[in-house]
Amino acid sequence: MKTLRTVVVGLGRIGWKTHIPRTHEHTGFELAAVVDPLQERLDEAKSDYDVAGYKDLAECLEAERPDLVTIASPTLFHTDQAILAFERGCDVFTDKPMAGSLEEADRMIDGMKRTGRKLMVYQPRRADADIVALETILNRDLLGPIYMIKATRSNYARRHDWQAFLKNGGGMLNNYGAHVIDQGLYLTGEKAAHISCTLRTIAALGDADDVVKAVFETESGIIVDVDINMATAHKMPPWHILGKYGSAVLESGIWNVKFYDPGALDDVAIQDALAAPGRSYSSGEFIPWQETTVSVSDYEPVNYYDRCHEYFAQDKAPYVPIDQSRELMRVLEECRKDAAR
Instruction: Specify the pLDDT at position 339.
Output: 95
**Residue closest to 246 by CA, chosen among 291, 186, 196:** 291
The string of DSSP letters for 35-76 reads E-S-HHHHHHHHHHH--EEES-HHHHHHHH--SEEEE-S-GG
Q: How far apart are CA 138 and CA 247, in angstroms?
A: 10
Model pLDDT for residues 260-302, shown as the tens digit of each residue: 999 888 887 777 778 777 767 776 678 899 999 999 999 999 9
Model pLDDT for residues 59-98, shown as the tens digit of each residue: 999 999 999 999 999 999 999 999 999 999 999 999 999 9
Q: How far apart are CA 248 and CA 227, in angstroms?
A: 17
pLDDT classification of 9: cutoffs 50, 70, 90: very high
Q: How far apart are CA 42 and CA 286, in angstroms?
A: 67
207 close to 192: Cβ distance less than 8 angstroms: no
pLDDT classification of 58: cutoffs 50, 70, 90: very high
Model pLDDT for residues 33-45, shown as the tens digit of each residue: 999 999 999 999 9
Count CB atoms within 10 A of the CB of residue 131: 18
226 close to 197: Cβ distance less than 8 angstroms: no
Model pLDDT for residues 296-327, shown as the tens digit of each residue: 999 999 999 999 999 999 999 999 999 999 99
pLDDT classification of 182: cutoffs 50, 70, 90: very high
In percent, the amount of the chain with pLDDT more than 70 equals: 99
For the cut 80, the answer to whether the pLDDT of residue 194 exceeds it is: yes
The number of residues making up the chain comes to: 341
Least confident of 221-225, 263-267, 329-333, 335-339: 263-267
DSSP strand E in the chain: where?
4-9, 29-35, 52-54, 68-71, 91-95, 119-122, 146-154, 192-200, 211-218, 223-229, 239-243, 246-251, 254-259, 290-295
Would you call 179 helix, strand, or coil by DSSP?
A: helix
**Which residues contact residue 314 at a Cβ distance below 8 angstroms, ignoring those fewer than 6 apart?**
2
Q: How far apart are CA 121 and CA 183, in angstroms?
A: 14
Instruction: Specify the pLDDT at position 79.
Output: 98
Instruction: Specify the pLDDT at position 99.
Output: 95
Task: Write down the pTM of the prediction.
Answer: 0.92
Q: Please give the mean pLDDT across all residues of the chain.
A: 95
Distances (CA, A) of 284 to 38, 205, 268, 274: 69, 53, 10, 18
Backbone angles phi, psi at 292, to 5 degrees: -150, 165
Instruction: Specify the pLDDT at position 1.
Output: 81
Q: How far apart are CA 28 and CA 291, in angstroms?
A: 43
